[in-house]
Each structure stands twice: as C-alpha cells, then as structure tokens.
Structure 1
Amino acid sequence: MTARGAFRAAALGLALGTAAQAAAQPGPTGSTRPRTAYEDLQMFSQVLNQIRVNHPDSVDTHRLFMAAVQGMVSAADPHSYVIPAARLSPQKEEQLRAGRLHPVPIRFAYVGGMPTIASVAPGTLAARQNILPGDVLVAIDGRPVQAESPVELEVFLAGPRGSSVRLGLERERADGSRVTLERTVRRERGDDETAVPVVTMLDGQTGYVRITTFSNARAAEDLHAALGRLEREGMRRLVLDLRDNGGGMVAEASRIAGEFLPSGSTVYVAQGRKAEVYDSVVVRRSFWRRERQYPIVVMVNEGTASASELVSGALQDHDRALVVGRPTFGKSLLMGGFPLTDGSLIMLTIGHVKTPCGRVIQRQYRDVRGADYYRMARAERDTAGRPSCRTAGGRTVYGGGGIYPDVVLPEPQPAPVWLARLAEDGVHTRWMGGYLTDNAAAFTTAEALAAAPRLPEGALAQFRAFAQAQGHAIPDGADADRHVERMLLPEIAGAKWGAAGYYRVAAALDEQIGAAVREFERAGQILSGAP
C-alpha cells in the first residue's frame, strides 16, 4: 500500500470510527427529555464552525445560514417560506400589485424546496393546458427555476398582460412513472372576468351558480346579481358549485356566506398562539339586503380550498345547506410577514381558522413527502378518527382535514391512459384550432350546445384521424367516443364563448350535478330543522 493509500485508509477508518463512537454515545440530554433550543443552537454553531475551519473551499457563512433558515421555516409547514433580501424586487412587485404587470394564473407552493402547482385559476388558458396540482415546476422559458419562494416566483413570472411564458413541468403519474411536460401559459389574472361564470336554470325551479374564485374583489357582488337574476326566473332552490375553487379573499367569503345566513351568524373563527390573532368573523348584512330562505346544495371536491372551505363549512355548521361531493382540500392557515435584520422576509403561519362549531379545516402536513401533500387531497377518506361537532339542528359534522360532505359522491373515474396522453400532448388543442376555423358556424350559443352536447356529424372521425397522424390511437366504441366528446365540447365552448361557455357546457356533461339535484329533499329537511 502506498503512503497516499495508507493515509486514505486511515482517514476513512478515523471517520467510520468517529461515527461509530458518536452513535454509541448517549445523547447530551439523555433519552428522558427533549433537547432544549439552547442545546440545538449550540449544535448549529458547532456545525457552522466545523465547516469554516475544515472545509477546503472558501464558504460564504451568510449563505449557509440562510439555507438553514429556509430549511427551518419550510420544515414548520408546507405554506411558510423565506424571501431572501437579495431576491426581493420591490419595483417589479409594486408594478404587479398596482396592476401594471400581470401574473400567470397559477398558485404555487414550495414543498420539499420544489415549486409545486397548488391550483390553477379556472377559466384561464392555463386551466385548459392540462396543468395539475402536484406538478413540479422545473424550468421557465427553458432555464432552471431560480426563485426560492411563492412570492418571489409570482413576481419573477409576472409580465405584460397577454404575454406568454413557457413552463417546464415534471409530473409523477399514477403508475409511478415520471414525465416532463412543456406548457405555454398566458399572463392574466384569474379575476379579470367574473367570479361567477355560470348562472343558469337547470330546470323550472333549480338554479345553478358556479363560483370559481374568491380572488375577485367582485365575487360577492357577482353572486348577489346572479341570485337576483335566477330568482326573477323562478328559482326556488339553488345548487352552489364550489368545486375546484381554490379560495382567495376571506372578506369575500364572509360576504358570500352572508347572502344565506342571518345577520350576526359566525362565519369562521381565527386562533393562534398570540391573543391578537384571535378573530371571530360574523355576518354583517346591510339593511336593504334580505336573507335567502330556499334550500341549497353546496358542491365541493378536493380542489375546494381555503376561503371556499370557510363558506361551505359555515353553511353546513348553521344547517343552512347540504354539502355534497368529495372531502375538500383542507387548508385554513393565517400567514404573517416578519422582516429579518438583513432585509429578508419570513412569511410564517401564525394561526388556524375554524368553522363556527369549532372544526379545524387544515389537514395534517407533518411527515408528508413533497408533492404528496397536494396529492393526499385526492385520497379516499372517511369519517373514522375525524373530530366532530354537532350543529344547532343536531347533525354531526366532521373536521380534521377539510370539510367532510353530508353526502359523499363516488370519486370520478380517472381518465383512460390514452385520453390522458392526448391531453398531455395537447392534441385536442391543436385539432380544435383548425376545426373551429372551418366549422365555427356549427356552434351557435353555449345554451344550445349545453342542451344537446354532441359534436357535429363527422367531427369524431376527423379527430380520430388527426390523433392517429399525431401518433395517438383512440380505441373504437361508444365509450371512447363519449370520453372524446367530454374532453372536446367544453374546450370548444371555451374557445368560442370564454369561461362562461366552458363551464356551461361542462355542467351539462357533469353527472355529479345531477346527483346533487337529487339531494334537494334532504336539503329541504335540513332547512326546516330536521336532523
């Protein structure tokens, strides 16, 4: 053995021996009590000193410290994060907040240090690009992502209204395989259009309203106008659709709940470690606005989050509505900003929000791996082990991770693999542009298409041929045809008539809406005081 080899062997033996000795030693505090913060700070100082003294390269200690701070904050929960001072862009952020720049209509969260899609604003171009919660952003215009927090990423992605940006996304499929996708999205605000894109009568007495976001400062006013219109058309019962509503302004949530609850009713309660975080928000209705009295069915799913969970939870707790659908996402945290001495900013969770009867909406986030935090919302969940409380009418309602529906609908079947591949590759989008150029006159109004949601004769054959030429084989049979129509018809309506057209036609194809309508007898019983 050479001298160099002997040195390496001795060094390796020393390292292994030291590690074994350390593993064999009892902890500094023993096994009977947890370590104190002072002891952990001592250990941190030891690690920093060892790097400074022994690392062969020159190391920026502030960079090391900020990395530790970011890791510490992100370990607290998936929604807390740090904005380093060097990455703050006050001028561009001011332009964004003032409306001179527009963001991409996608909400990101950093999970395990990776920018992860949390939700996409409904009705936007991005919502029709097959971008899913849990997708990880890996590139922007072909370059690696440099932003280290949701706010920094929002500012970085902002630009002139209507301009586009290319996003590289990594997706883990249900079978465990991974695929990298590229999507071009337009910079636009989810609140550029109405928050209530679909207002219609499903039959002679049933009104249907879909609220897609509470980020629109006009959401409550839009709903108020929609309800007035439907009431003039003879509405005596309401389907309020909050599916895939990722939330927004809690002030709008309380105003929307106030359309249906008596003045003085609690909408939600905020609580934190500090007393000043506490807040009990109640309905404050103007004297000229009356309280609606008809039966309501509220539709929710795994994409119902944050402020929209506050609305559905308040209506459920007060026995004002029957909640139908899937367990909601489970996000109800209060955030606060705290500056550091170097100019960095910590955005930290400072409290939880509860429903009027005391249910915690926020679901478990500890010991959850990366994007699984967002995928967990789609897992099958029942009432076993959930905390519960009773409403004034004697009904048992459940918390502990989202709003649990009174009537749980079956989880929608996942799209067939061949259909998912079509969507991932954007085949339907490329086909639709050319098809509409030649056949736009075949589609007169969104209402007409919703009343008879079928593609014109020959369209399916044309799409099959187009997909085949793009390397995608579509199975034969009526089931495959139905899947294709359900994918294409809302997209065609969206291209012709915007978000309102998209959601009107999608509603006509939606079996869950039919299931919700069948629950009005029970909704009426709840309203009359029956448990």
Structure 2
Amino acid sequence: MNQESPERHIRNSKGTIRLPIIVSITLVAGMLIGSTFFSGGKKLTDVAKGYAKFREVLMLVENNYVDSVNTEELVDYSITKMLEKLDPHTAYFNSEEATAARSQLESGFDGIGVEFNIYNDTVYVVTPLSGGPSEAAGILSGDRIMSVNKEPLSGPGVTNAQVYKLLRGKRGTKVEITIERVGLADKMDFAVVRDRIPTYSVDAAYMVDSEVGYIKVSRFSETTFDEFKTALKTLKADGLKKLILDLRGNPGGYMERATSMADEFISGDKLLVYTEGKDSRFDRKTRSHVDGNFEKGPVIVLVDEGSASASEILAGALQDHDRALIVGRRSYGKGLVQMPVKLSDGSELRLTISRYYTPSGRSIQKPYELGKGDDYSQDLSHRYESGELFNADSIKFDKTKEYKTDGGRIVYGGGGITPDVFVPRDTTLNSKYLVELYSKNIIREYALRYANENQKKLEKQTFDEYLNSFQISDAMLSELVKDATRAGIRLNEKELNHSKPVIQSQTKAIIGRYVWGRKQKGGLNNEVYRVLNPTDNVYQRAVLLFGKASELEEGNFSSLNTRK
C-alpha cells in the first residue's frame, strides 16, 4: 500500500481549480444584481467578508477533508440552510427542481403526453392527454409502462422523478416504450415522438342550471387568465347570470393573472392590490382598468386553508370591494412576494422582496418568526387541533388589525382571508379503511379497469344520462373490495358501510372522466366535478347563498349577516 509523505505538496484537481473561478463569477454576478435591484442593505464589503470566509472553508474541505466530497451538494446545502434563517417563503431550487417548478406555471412542457400513476411499483397510464403524441401512437388508459428506452420502469423504488426524467425531453426526440396491456399476453413496443404538451389550470367550467355557472381554478399559471376568459365567455353564451368561482386548494402562482381575473369582476378605476418592500422600487399598485366580462351578477368565491398567495389576492380584492361573497374556511395566509432570480448554473433563488396588501390595507401574511420555518409549517395542523376547521367561533381575530370594505363591513388582517360565510370541513364519512383505499389507489385503479372493460357499452349513452342513472352496484363494490384485499388492506365491514357513499361517488366520477373526459377540450374535468360537487358540503351551501350574494352586490349590507 502506497503512502503519501507528510511533506507532500497539496495538489488541486481540475474541479478544485475551477471552483474559485465559478464562485468568484457568481459573487460578481450577485454584486451586479445587488447594485441593480436592491438598495439600503449592508455594505458590499460586509458581504465580501462573509463570502471570503465561506470560500476559505469550502476550499479547505475540498482539498483536505479525509473523504471525497460532492462540492455542489455542499454548496446547495449551505445555501438552503442559510435561507432557513429568513422568512418561510424565501427558497433555493437546484437546477432540476427549478425546471420542474417552472414547468408547473408555464404553458406546457415537452414530453409524450400521459397522465400516470405509480401503484404497487408499476407505472400505469391513467390517460393519454387529448391530442398528445401518446394518444396518437395508440397508448391507452390502463397500459403498464414496463421500460423506456430499454431502461426498466417497474419494480421496487420507482419514483415520480424517475418517470419524469425518462418521459420528458426535447420535442422531436423519439422515445421507445414497452407496454403491457390487460388481455394481451405479449408486450407491445411503441415509438413515441415527444412534443409540446400544454398544461391547464382551469379544471372545470360548466352550467349548474340555466343561470348558475361553476368555474374551478387550480393555480395561476401563464395561461390561467386566457383559460378563464374562454370559460367565462362559453358560460355566458349558455345563459350565465350567477357564478361560483372555486379557489379551494389553489396555491397561487403569477400575481398578474389573479389581478387580471379580478379586473373582469370589478368596474371602474379601483385598487386591486398593492405591495410594499424595503426597496421602494418593489412598491407597486395594481388597479382595475378594463371593462370586465362579469362586472354585474352575483359572485360566490370558495376558499379554504389550501387557498394561498394569488388566490388570496383575488379573494381579498373581491371581498374588499363587496363584489363577491366569500364562502368556506380561512385561507392559507401567504402575503409575501417572491422575486425569482435565475442563477448562472440554472438554479433559482426565490427571494422575498415585499408584502402585498388588499385594497382595504390588509396584510394577509400570517405571523411567523425568522428562522422558525418548522413552527410556521405546522400552522394548518394547529388549525385542525384548535377546531378552527370545524367551528367558526374557533377563528381568533386580531382586533388591532380591523379594516373595512367599501360598504363598511368589518374584515381582519394578519392571517389569510376569513370567509363571509363559514362552512366546516366535512369528515363525517371518513374512515381508516377509506384512507387505506386512497393510499393504495384502489378506487382509481378499479374505476380505470371498469371503464376500459365497459367503455363501448358506456359510450352508448350521453354523460348526462350516465350522471342521472348510473349507480355503483353492490357487485362492483365487492370487486373493488377484492382488489383492496389483494393489495393487503384488511376488510372492515363497518368502516366500508360508513364510507360507502364516498367510495361510490369517487368511483363514479373517475369512470365518467375516463369514458367521456377524453373528449373534453382545454383540459377540463367537468365530469369529475359534476359527479362530486353535489356531495360537497361547501358547494352545497354555496348554491343556496345567491340571495346573500345578490344583496351584497346591491349594497344591502345592513341585512347581510355574513359572519354567521
């Protein structure tokens, strides 16, 4: 065994030589960004001192540490831990994470165009996306993807990230996919050419009856406003007079899409949102300025604890101007604005630069302490434990942050948008057995198989006929239970009967989507929502509240006891 002499000269690897150059370039770029975009911070000499110390430690570790190290991982870890000392929403994404995060908000991605599910270490095609290359190639719902470009894609350890990496890629490139299909003994090989796959954020848009329309928006991405305008125009042509806008579970996205949507409802020149930061160059005010497509007519907006950021901008503007009745539960409470800064290696820093405020002056940001992100992340658990998700009286208002809407109604800042009409979370039909069915995708997989086996028979009727007459039979339920038992879920008859209505409605909704939803244009999942909404307690309450929404629109605030 050869040993090195203690007096040896420490030699740098090529990577070590490049490291200070890369870090120095990054520092210079950071200084330029700082001098261009920021002011009023610490002197650059203080920043340089901190950088010099970090560089010194990093070089010592790289050159002298007893084991080999991954320098890039160390740097990423250091940045992440540093940012944990700031607010809960300033964040760092490595290049892969940044690309994936951006793809959720951009107009689409390049890939083969399938929605997939991983179940029992197998990748199942939920549905080929309408008009996409997989549909054109003949891939069907229920197909099992066994390998991609001869790389196995089944067995223990298969992950979503692995599937994304193999299926997504530059448009025009070919992907060799091996498929197993129910009813066929031999595997099938497909050559699929990747193409641009659009992403959608308006999940549903349909008429509930001759006057009431429903639109579900799942996030605020590049195309959200255009999708919304198209949906609204279609519904107006169908007789829309009253609207339910569902923002539940919407985590936000681009602020400009939310304010553009608010402008469709709010007339005249009115403030929609404003931001204030340490640097006045990040202060801005956004006002309504266009003739919107629904400035008259009662509006009900649904929110819950999953509605955040841009969702709260929209709900807050409509509430402050007395333009919509807000129904549901208190929203998430994210009122910090992040500026994405793309770094030299493709990674991204999302830096909090300001706070946003609703027209009445409310900051929606819920309280936090610097460096205590763990406590902050437990807020929703605390809401559950305190009973806030089930009882309006459990919501604690900060009386020092009392504001008024245009019509003089009292609203509160300091932690999300509090609804005008509270509706509790409905857990009455939950059970451990139901949770286990969800966790192993039993309902979804059974519905997929049933739809594939009975598609021709089901397609002989319209979706409306299916909606009104089709029932999940006891025989079907027994087959689903057998699937669950084979997957290791022990049958509990009492819990099965307790959760039976949920299991039946979920199964019916998914079958409807598989059979008729593929024909929908624009990414709409109307079939799912048309089955499930009538069983949703928040939706059920909302359709009965248009009397109050109309009073609100007419300015009749005295008789509008919206806090009950």
What's the TM-score bracket when you normalise by the shorter of the two chains?
0.5 to 0.7
Q: Which residue, out of 57, 64, 83, partners 1:73?
A: 83
Describe the superposition over 1:347-388 as per-residue Cα deviations: whole angstroms up to 9, x where unpaired: 311111111111112223432417935744863441432633
SS at match of 1:262: coil
| Residue of structure 1 in register with 2:513 after alignment | 494
Shift in alpha-carbon separation, 1:447–1:144, aligned structure 2, 3 A? closer
| Residue of structure 1 in register with 2:414 after alignment | 400
The answer on 1:279 being equivalent to 2:284 is yes
Q: Which residue, out of 443, 453, 456, partners 1:428?
A: 443
The answer on 1:485 being equivalent to 2:499 is no
- Note the C-alpha offset of 1:513: 1.0
Distance 1:397 1:204 in 2: 33
Shift in alpha-carbon separation, 1:458–1:505, aligned structure 2, 3 A? same
| Residue of structure 2 in register with 1:57 after alignment | 66
Contact 1:467 1:474 in 2 (8 A): no
The answer on 1:327 being equivalent to 2:341 is no
Contact 1:84 1:343 in 2 (8 A): yes
Shift in alpha-carbon separation, 1:302–1:154, aligned structure 2, 3 A? farther
Distance 1:392 1:261 in 2: 12
| Residue of structure 2 in register with 1:460 after alignment | 477
- Note the C-alpha offset of 1:437: 2.6
Q: Number of paired residues?
A: 432
The answer on 1:296 being equivalent to 2:299 is yes
| Residue of structure 2 in register with 1:4 after alignment | none
Q: How does 1:270-419 map to 2 (within 5 A)?
A: 270-286=275-291, 289=292, 291-338=294-341, 346-366=349-369, 367-369=372-374, 372-373=377-378, 375-376=380-381, 379=384, 380-381=387-388, 382-385=395-398, 387-413=401-427, 415-419=430-434
SS at match of 1:349: strand
- Note the C-alpha offset of 1:227: 3.2
Distance 1:196 1:416 in 2: 28
Q: TM-score, normalising length from structure 1?
A: 0.67
| Residue of structure 2 in register with 1:195 after alignment | 202
- Note the C-alpha offset of 1:512: 1.7
Distance 1:413 1:215 in 2: 31
Q: TM-score, normalising length from structure 2?
A: 0.64
Contact 1:197 1:212 in 2 (8 A): no
Contact 1:357 1:389 in 2 (8 A): yes
Aligned-CA RMSD value: 4.6
Contact 1:324 1:407 in 2 (8 A): yes
Amino acid at match of 1:525: E
SS at match of 1:76: coil
- Note the C-alpha offset of 1:324: 0.2
Amino acid at match of 1:258: D
- Note the C-alpha offset of 1:79: 2.6
| Residue of structure 2 in register with 1:227 after alignment | 232
| Residue of structure 2 in register with 1:208 after alignment | 214
Could you tell me which runs of 5 or more consecutive residues in structure 1 were left unpaired when the two chains were aligned.
1-35, 107-122, 125-139, 148-152, 166-186
Shift in alpha-carbon separation, 1:103–1:433, aligned structure 2, 3 A? closer
Identity of aligned residues (%): 26
Bigger shift: residues 381-390 or 353-362: 381-390
Shift in alpha-carbon separation, 1:464–1:144, aligned structure 2, 3 A? closer
Q: Which residue, out of 499, 506, 517, partners 2:543?
A: 517
SS at match of 1:220: helix
Distance 1:80 1:104 in 2: 32
SS at match of 2:285: strand
Describe the superposition over 1:74-102 as per-residue Cα deviations: whole angstroms up to 9, x where unpaired: 321233233568x7999x999x9795635
| Residue of structure 1 in register with 2:31 after alignment | none
- Note the C-alpha offset of 1:61: 12
Shift in alpha-carbon separation, 1:189–1:278, aligned structure 2, 3 A? farther
Amino acid at match of 1:354: Y
- Note the C-alpha offset of 1:282: 1.1
Shift in alpha-carbon separation, 1:189–1:514, aligned structure 2, 3 A? farther
Shift in alpha-carbon separation, 1:474–1:334, aligned structure 2, 3 A? same
- Note the C-alpha offset of 1:487: 2.5
SS at match of 2:493: coil
- Note the C-alpha offset of 1:260: 1.0
| Residue of structure 2 in register with 1:470 after alignment | 487
Contact 1:103 1:155 in 2 (8 A): no
The answer on 1:268 being equivalent to 2:273 is yes
SS at match of 1:101: strand
Describe the superposition over 1:305-357 as per-residue Cα deviations: whole angstroms up to 9, x where unpaired: 22222111110010001100011122233222457799975331111111111
Amino acid at match of 1:466: D
Amino acid at match of 2:212: T
Contact 2:268 2:289 in 1 (8 A): yes
- Note the C-alpha offset of 1:38: 7.0
Contact 1:93 1:155 in 2 (8 A): no
Bigger shift: residues 308-317 or 263-272: 263-272
Contact 2:330 2:418 in 1 (8 A): yes
Shift in alpha-carbon separation, 1:43–1:422, aligned structure 2, 3 A? same
The answer on 1:528 being equivalent to 2:557 is no
Describe the superposition over 1:71-129 as per-residue Cα deviations: whole angstroms up to 9, x where unpaired: 112321233233568x7999x999x97956359999xxxxxxxxxxxxxxxx99xxxxx
SS at match of 2:374: coil
- Note the C-alpha offset of 1:448: 3.4
SS at match of 1:512: helix
Distance 2:167 2:479 in 1: 37
- Note the C-alpha offset of 1:413: 1.0
Bigger shift: residues 494-503 or 310-319: 494-503
- Note the C-alpha offset of 1:433: 2.7
